[in-house]
Structure 1
Amino acid sequence: MRFTDKVCLVTGGTSGIGQAACVRLGAEGGTVIALGRDKKDGAETVRLIKEAGGQAVFMACDLAKPKAIETTVQKVLVKFHRVDVLVCDAAMMTFEPLVKLPLEKWDLLMQVNLRSLAQLTQLCLPHMPRGSAIVAISSVHAHQTTAAVVPYATSKGGLEAFVRGMSRELDFRQTRINAIAPGAVDTPMLWSNPNVKNGNEKIDKATVGKPEELAAAIAFMASAEASFIHGTTLAVDGGRLAQL
């Protein structure tokens, strides 16, 4: 039980990889705070965590709104007093060529995918005890991307640079920070991608990962077993990047 008595805050916790991470952390003894926008989905996540033997609460939070992030972290600290594990999974994508993309969409995506990571790190760090960990969810799109998803790929490249930079500011014995870069994973985000639907991005269903496989990697990177891993990105992609 690697997360017994650990307070685990997970963004994007109501579907896909984030939800699987919540269930895994809870099953390993963690008290999970799942963040998301939809209360119904949040209730389902809490049910799954409790069914797996964990403890959980859902808190509604729109990561596009900095004030909402600040308020939510304050609620977490009032209730739990600390954050042992921070998993930043929530993300959005756009599917337009850059020349056709309204810059308001660029700004919104960067707010959700990148600025929220910086804000959550800034707010949580003073309340993260020795042995704590931050795991940020990147993407193979930071390294190998397709047309019409430039903002998403840019945000994930920035996320990995953030992780590397923050590792120089943190004592890894106090708080570690790392990233996970998933490949194609069986989530709503993958199958709703227009590039996948129209065949511009080829997906071999035989090599698509499961959310639970990503959750296992997240749990490892957040655990004391990874105590000497700091400032790096772990690709969990079924070998996709190895084919470059």
Structure 2
Amino acid sequence: MEMPGKVVIVSGATSGIGREVALRFAREGARVVILGLDDTRGQEVQTALQLQGAADCFYRRTDVSDGGAVQAAVAEAAARWGRVDVLVNNAAIMHTGALADMSEADWDKTMAVNLKGPFLLAKHALPAMPPGSSIVNISSVHAIATDAHSTAYSASKGGLEAFTRALALECHARKIRVNALRLGAVDTPMLWNNPDVRSGEEKLDPSEVASSGEVAELVLFLASARSQPVTGAVLTADGGRLPILGSHAH
């Protein structure tokens, strides 16, 4: 096993990418903290981890934009296991449509979850992270090339990649690595609920749609000793979506 006894916090872990990441780390022997807002799904993920042998795991309902809730969840993990070895900032939301039609509340909520959330989790986890620890931020090709309907989401992911580079510099002396994974189309509810995808305006080649399990393998790589020389980097794993978005050839 690659992560025996390691303490891993995964946000947005009740479905999609986060769920698969939690399961993947558990299979490698990690102790996993499942953060999310859906209690039914959270308990289901906890049970799934336990059934595959991960007795050391727990779910906590946590709004990542709430500083007090984040601090409490991280403190519980540190008190229970003494440290945090890996933080995976996966929780995100996406609002689509014209910017002029977007409410201020929706803009603020997008930034709160997608950008403030990683800040809060890193802020409270870092004091408990020993040398050799790792932070993995889940970004998107929309940080680089996007469409006309995803301004808030794109801005948040662009900010997350800048956050990744800056935090990696801050953490260098502490021997804590910080990287991001820039994804394209992934088989998750967020993808299929996108109005452009539902309407057919944005066409997808099934061969370019990654599975959550494939993404989890890449997160494991960035968090593990196999990627020891890598920090401050953004790994693109987009199935070809970046050049497609860049050319606006939907």
State whether TM-score is above 0.5: yes
Percent identity between matched residues is 41
Mean Cα displacement is larger for which, 120-129 or 63-72? 63-72
Q: 2:29 maps to which residue?
A: 29
> What one-letter code is carried by the residue in structure 2 that aligns with 1:224?
A
Mean Cα displacement is larger for which, 163-172 or 208-217? 163-172
Is the contact made by 2:9 and 2:84 (CA closer than 8 Å) also made in structure 1? yes
Measure, in 2, the Cα distance between the counterparts of 1:233 and 1:22. Answer: 21
Structure 1 residue 196 displacement after superposition: 0.8
Aligned residue for 1:209, secondary structure, equals coil
Q: 1:144 maps to which residue?
A: 145
Measure, in 2, the Cα distance between the counterparts of 1:155 and 1:238. Answer: 21
Mean Cα displacement is larger for which, 220-229 or 199-208? 199-208
User: Are residues 141 and 30 of structure 1, via their aligned partners in 2, closer, same or farther at CA, if it must alter by over 3 Å?
Assistant: same
Structure 1 residue 242 displacement after superposition: 5.1
Measure, in 2, the Cα distance between the counterparts of 1:65 and 1:121. Answer: 13
The alignment's C-alpha RMSD in Å is: 1.4
Is the contact made by 1:172 and 1:228 (CA closer than 8 Å) also made in structure 2? no
> What one-letter code is carried by the residue in structure 2 that aligns with 1:34?
I
Q: 2:239 maps to which residue?
A: 238
- Deviation string, structure 1 residues 177-199 (Cα, Å, up to 9, x no partner): 00001110111111111111112
Measure, in 1, the Cα distance between the counterparts of 2:218 and 2:52. Answer: 18
Runs of 4+ in 1 over 3 A off after TM superposition: none
Q: 2:70 maps to which residue?
A: 69
- Deviation string, structure 1 residues 98-138 (Cα, Å, up to 9, x no partner): 11111111111101000111111111111101110000000
Measure, in 1, the Cα distance between the counterparts of 2:205 and 2:50. Answer: 34
Structure 1 residue 64 displacement after superposition: 3.0
Structure 1 residue 240 displacement after superposition: 2.7
Q: Does 1:126 align with 2:111?
A: no
**TM-score scaled to structure 2, two decimals?**
0.93
Mean Cα displacement is larger for which, 80-89 or 164-173? 164-173
Structure 1 residue 57 displacement after superposition: 1.1
Unaligned 5+ residue runs, structure 1?
none
Matches for 1:93-242 after TM superposition, within 5 Å: 93-171=94-172, 174-241=175-242
> What one-letter code is carried by the residue in structure 1 that aligns with 2:81?
F
Is the contact made by 2:2 and 2:28 (CA closer than 8 Å) also made in structure 1? yes
- Deviation string, structure 1 residues 125-181 (Cα, Å, up to 9, x no partner): 111011100000001111121121100011000000000111111126621000001
> What one-letter code is carried by the residue in structure 2 that aligns with 1:52?
Q
Structure 1 residue 96 displacement after superposition: 2.1
Unaligned 5+ residue runs, structure 2?
none
Aligned residue for 2:130, secondary structure, equals coil
Is the contact made by 1:172 and 1:230 (CA closer than 8 Å) also made in structure 2? no
Aligned residue for 1:185, secondary structure, equals coil
Is the contact made by 1:144 and 1:241 (CA closer than 8 Å) also made in structure 2? yes
Is the contact made by 1:64 and 1:111 (CA closer than 8 Å) also made in structure 2? yes
Is the contact made by 1:28 and 1:54 (CA closer than 8 Å) also made in structure 2? no
Is the contact made by 2:181 and 2:235 (CA closer than 8 Å) also made in structure 1? yes
- Deviation string, structure 1 residues 194-244 (Cα, Å, up to 9, x no partner): 111112222112321100000000000000111110001111112333555
User: Are residues 226 and 173 of structure 1, via their aligned partners in 2, closer, same or farther at CA, if it must alter by over 3 Å?
Assistant: farther
Is the contact made by 1:173 and 1:227 (CA closer than 8 Å) also made in structure 2? no
Measure, in 2, the Cα distance between the counterparts of 1:65 and 1:48. Answer: 27
